Amino acid sequence: MRELADLFGRPRTGQSIVFAGPSGSGKTEVAINLALSLIRVTTSPVTLCDLDVVKPYFRLRDMLRLLTEDEAGRLTIVEPERRLLHADIPTFPRNLHALLSSRETIKVIDVGGDAIGAGAVAQFRETIIASDYSLYIVVNTLRPGMDSADGLKRMLMAIRSGARLEVTGLVANTNLQAETTAEDVQRGYDAVKALGDSEGLPVVAVLVSPEYADQVVHRLAPGAAGLLSVIRVFNRILDTVGSQTEF
């Protein structure tokens, strides 16, 4: 089992790690988990940045309440103004250019889904390029349209042209929530690996969640097993939320 920050090359202060990908592929989960991993293994300040202008619920800003006080205290969160949190309008945080060019902190950036979400960051392109960035595409091959090599290729092209940034690598996040099997994870990895091979991109991580990790980890082929990391799940179906949920 690998530390997530290590799978992403243990980013250094000043670097930006950007997550994009098809809607519902798990970008926000991966971004939070990487930020939490970074505060575990480095002493650098870590900034988690919510640039999702697409989806109305289950955004980074909705999940932050699930962090412990200690975790929240060690992360700097950049999100749209509080009073606009539930406004159904695309808003970016203030001072974004200044933040994206900061050399004082590691920046983990969660971008909205599909080409449209990725397109929203294209306006910060120059700043992101100047900030020593890596861009990862998170893929769940059990999402609609992601079940074929063609579909995956089209998705990658659309997000590349939306973001207008170079892609660094791919993250295999294939899952059916609690119903995920080892075969699902293995086949997901194989499909993402094939996409990476044809595009010259590495697969940097294979992610599983604690609810099915035990049944999966020992049944993966070495290629996938060597990239495996268990992530904490923040988005979970509602009836397990123990107390008042206010959206």
Partner 1 sequence: MSDKVLMKGAEALAEGAIQAGCRYYFGYPITPQNETPEYMSRRLPEVGGRFVQAESEVASINMVYGAACAGVRVMTSSSSPGISLMQEGISYISGSNVPCVVMNAMRGGPGLGNIAPAQADYFQAVKGGGNGDYKRIVLAPSSIQEGVDLFVDAFELADKYRMVVMVIVDGLIGQMMEPVEFKTRIDVSTLKTPEWATVGRHGRDHANIITSLTLDAAGLEQWNLKLQAKYAQVEQAESRIEEYQMDDADYAIIAYGTMARIAKTTVRVARDKGIKLGLLRPITVWPFPAKQMQAYVGKLKGTLTVELAYRQLFEDVQLTLCDKMPLGWYGRGGGVVPGPQEILAAFEEQFGKGR
Part of the chain binding partner 1 (CB under 8 A), chosen from 5-13, 29-37, 183-191, 225-233 = 183-191
Count of beta carbons in the 10 Å neighbourhood of residue 46: 22
The answer to whether 234 contacts partner 1 (rule: CB under 8 A) is no
Residue 12 one-letter amino acid: R
The answer to whether 81 contacts partner 1 (rule: CB under 8 A) is no
Question: Residues 6 or more apart from 203 whose CB is under 8 A from it?
Answer: 169, 170, 171, 172, 189, 192, 193, 196, 227
User: How many residues does the structure list for the chain?
Assistant: 247
The answer to whether 66 contacts partner 1 (rule: CB under 8 A) is no
- The residue among 167, 147, 144 whose CA lies nearest residue 157 is 167
Nearer to partner 1 by Cβ, of 199 and 211: the residue is 211
Site residues for partner 1, 102-121, by CB under 8 A, read: none
The answer to whether 153 contacts partner 1 (rule: CB under 8 A) is no
β partners of residue 134: 17
The answer to whether 84 contacts partner 1 (rule: CB under 8 A) is no
Site residues for partner 1, 156-175, by CB under 8 A, read: 175
β partners of residue 157: none
DSSP conformational letter for 209: -
Helix or strand holding residue 111 (H, E): strand 106-111
* Contact residue for partner 1 among 147, 190, 199, 211 (CB under 8 A): 147
The answer to whether 150 contacts partner 1 (rule: CB under 8 A) is no
Site residues, partner 1 (CB under 8 A): 23-24, 55-58, 86, 88, 140, 142-144, 147, 175-177, 179, 181, 183-184, 187, 235, 237-247
